[in-house]
Amino acid sequence: MRKIKILLISFFLFFIPSISYSLIEVDISRGNLNPLPISVSPLFADKVSNSLLKNDIQIENLGLKIAEVVENNLRQTGLFNPLSRKAFLQKPDIAHLKPRFEDWALIKSQALITGKISYKNEKLKVEFRLWDVLAGREMLALAFTTVPNNWRRVGHIISDKIYERLTGEKGYFDTRIIYVAEEGPKTKRIKKLAIMDQDGFNTKYLTLGNELVLTPRFNPTNQMVTYLSYFKNLPRVYLLDIETGMQEVVGDFPGMTFAPRFSPDGKKIIMSFAKDGNSDIYTMDLENRIVERITNHPSIDTSPSFSPDGKFITFNSDRSGFQQIYIMKNDGKKVKRISFGKGLYGTPVWSPRGDLIAFTKLHKGKFYIGVMRVDGSGERLLTENYYQEAPSWSPNGRVLIFYRETKTDSEGKGFSAKLWSIDLTGYNERQVETLTDASDPSWSSLLSN
């Protein structure tokens, strides 16, 4: 009988509901796009290394210089806000061993970069650590060994690694930009091919300025450049090896060739070939020099650009009566118009990410740089000005570099052409410093992968 009682009671208890709360869920679908506050502590060097470095490359306090390169790179992105070094409470050497996170959190820093350099046997060793200040832990630690003259590149590589760790996409700092350096009055311009680091340092000239040069484009896989120059008074597409300085004319076309660009694998050049007032798009294989005609239309087809997978080509054509952007398969089939807005569209460039096409638009006397999706939807105009064109993508597809010309006054003075960059948000527009006037920029892919 007792057993039955227990059984009954336990049975009864089973049905008594207990109070329980379901887990509260809150959806956070918005955040801010404010730059991330970051502290770049100067890289610490011991006294011996410092004095040796001063003797060898005549730079005092190299650790600080590298930190400045990193800081400048991060600031230029618009995504980071490097904090003033004056506010730092901890010394670089101690911070590199074990940061006092409270001190860095106090100055509202969310990430911290510390580092150390040493110089031994004419080799420069640079190590750095990236710390998450709020979580109080290390996020990344790497060391590089190189010749001391390469210190700026080390700064760029460190910037790339930090950028990638904090944003989730590859950086674009260890890259170079090729452009046309311009000097002299507008009527008698001297144009030379020039190459520089993406931050405007280490400028070198690749041609002497005897011939007019235009539209240089990097090979995405190596250090080759294709550009337009004049040969026997005809504009022709050239190929140039940056390392050796070797130049050659591409193909033997009975007319003018222009608007060259490499295919994503770097094995082909795609360009326009004009004859008898009609221009069409051609490709040439660089290995076997076989030329292939891609478009065959009585209108002007030009400015071709491959998609990153090489399967599609975007170009502009006036076959509808006005200059508009089209895409087609890489064999010239399935041509489809994608731009339908008011105005003229030109210089389409496929993003390295593959999702967007950048273009120049002319509407009511103003020039715009914009982007649209590959199906033509979501057109966004990023910047507007009196004259600007020729956008070129950063290797991660986040930033566009282009050139902008200013109006001359009534006496023909005041003309200038400068390089500018803008990111996809459209807010972070900056002038890229160059030694001379500059036009037609082209961004290289990352030098180190």
What residues make contact with another protein under the rule CB under 8 A? Answer: 4, 8, 11-12, 15-17, 19, 21-34, 36, 79, 110, 132, 134-135, 139, 165-169, 355, 396, 398, 425
Which is closer to another protein, CB of 151 or CB of 163?
163
Q: What is the C-alpha to C-alpha distance for residues 221 and 216, in angstroms, rounded to an integer?
A: 15
| Nearer CB in complex with another protein: 135/246 | 135
Would you say 29 or 58 has its CB closer to another protein?
29
* CB of 23 vs another protein, minimal distance in Å: 5
Cα atoms in the Cβ-side hemisphere of radius 13 Å centred on 212 = 11
Contacts of 171 (CB under 8 A, 6+ apart): 159, 160, 161, 162, 163, 164, 396, 446
CB of 252 to another protein, least distance (A): 44
Query: How near is the Cβ of 168 to another protein at its closest, in Å?
Result: 4
Q: Which of 75, 62, 74, 109 has the alpha carbon at shortest distance from 90?
A: 109
Residues 6 or more apart whose CB falls under 8 angstroms from that of 241 comprise 223, 224, 225
Instruction: Read off the tokens for 132.
Output: 């998450």
Q: How many CA atoms lie within 13 A of 380 on its CB side?
A: 13
Asked if residues 415 and 186 have their Cβ atoms less than 8 Å apart, the reply is yes
Strand-pair partners of 142: 128
Q: Which helix (H) or strand (E) holds 105?
A: helix 101-106
Q: What minimum distance in Å lies between the beta carbon of 319 and another protein?
A: 31
Q: Which is nearer to another protein, 165 or 186 (CB)?
A: 165
Q: Between 28 and 208, whose beta carbon lies closer to another protein? A: 28
Compute how many other C-beta atoms are within 10 angstroms of the C-beta atom of residue 299: 15
Cα–Cα distance measured from residue 171 to residue 48, given in angstroms and rounded to the nearest whole number: 33
* Least Å from the CB of residue 74 to another protein: 13
Q: How far apart are CA 352 and CA 393, in angstroms?
A: 7
Residue 308's alpha-carbon distances to 220, 286, 349, 423, in angstroms, are 10, 18, 10, 19
- Closer to another protein by Cβ: residue 167 or 222: 167
> Which strand (E) or helix (H) includes residue 160?
helix 151-167
Distance (Å, rounded) from C-alpha 52 to C-alpha 55? Answer: 5
Is residue 171 within 8 Å of residue 164, measured between CB atoms?
Answer: yes
Rounded to the nearest whole angstrom, what is the least distance from the CB of residue 28 to another protein in the complex?
Answer: 5
**Nearest distance, CB of residue 412 and another protein, angstroms:** 43
Q: How far is the CB of 13 from another protein (least distance, A)?
A: 11
DSSP assignment of 266-278: SSEEEEEEEETTE
- Residues sharing a CB contact under 8 Å with residue 189, sequence separation 6 or more, in sequence order: 182, 183
Select 251 or 426, whichever has its Cβ closest to another protein: 426
Nearer to another protein, 109 or 347 (CB): 109
Query: Rounded to the nearest whole angstrom, what is the least distance from the CB of residue 78 to another protein in the complex?
Result: 9
CB closer to another protein out of 11 and 55: 11
Residue 77 Cβ vs another protein, minimum distance, rounded to whole Å = 9
Greatest distance between any 2 Cα atoms in the chain:
117
Nearer to another protein, 5 or 188 (CB): 5
